[in-house]
Amino acid sequence: MNNGLHGRIALITGGSRGIGAAISRALAENGAAIAINYREGADQARKLADELVKTGASAITVQADVSQADAVAKMIQLVKYQLGEIDILINNAGIAITRGIDTLSEAEFDQTIAVNLKGVFLCTQAVLPMMRAKNWGRIINISSGAARGAGAIGPHYNASKAGVEGLTRGYAARLVKEGITVNAVAPSLIETDMMKGQESLVSRIPLGRFGRAEEVAKAVMMLIDNSYMTGQTVAMSGGMSFN
């Protein structure tokens, strides 16, 4: 274990599987205490927490729907009580409802914005007092290549992720003098449960394979380590697009 983050408390929303789980593991390997948020799938979250504890890390699970302000407030208080004040927030929780422009409903649009965008706002607002008190904080928002490209999920998803990158810049500009950096990572076509059955999409990737959740986690760790980098989005697309 690298103890570079020893004493730091990290909350990872949607942290029990896929990219979130890879980030949870990377943070634990670097000495941070981990709070794994989940909305459903308590068993999977608990299994990951047990795995991390066996490596010597501190890890807890905490259930919350990040689109609900009351649930977020309770989650933050529980993490503070069990682990301490949060230093690192990874806004990873999200949903991806695939719809075309003629089949997308208002309810699906609202749900996507509530989880993917409002959830980032609610969690960020909730942790800021703790970070400001320490004059140190790291907030990493998981965006998507769909924030700038067409994507395959639908315009509601495009809008939610473009909004995430807007929030990233907006918070970064206003927190830059308070020791808090805010950045985003925008992966495209990462090998997670969402990509099962979508192997044909590999043909779109110049690198010739899906990205790996662990590679996204490495980009997140780079942003946490770099105190001079804020307001930026790191794109990970295997060469499909360039900033």
Respond yes or no: is residue 157 known to be catalytic.
yes
Spatial separation of the C-alpha atoms in residues 131 and 143, rounded to whole Å = 22
Q: Do the beta carbons of residue 96 and residue 146 sit within 8 Å?
A: no
Tokens of 35: 């709070």
Q: Positive or negative, the Cα torsion across 23, 29, 32, 33?
A: positive
Q: Which of 158, 148, 162, 16 is nearest to 90 (CA)?
A: 16
- Cross-strand pairs, 211: 190
The residues with which 31 forms a beta bridge, in sequence order, are: none
Catalytic residue, chosen from 38, 81, 157, 228, is 157
- Residue 30: both structure tokens together: 């670097």
Catalytic residue positions, numbered: 157
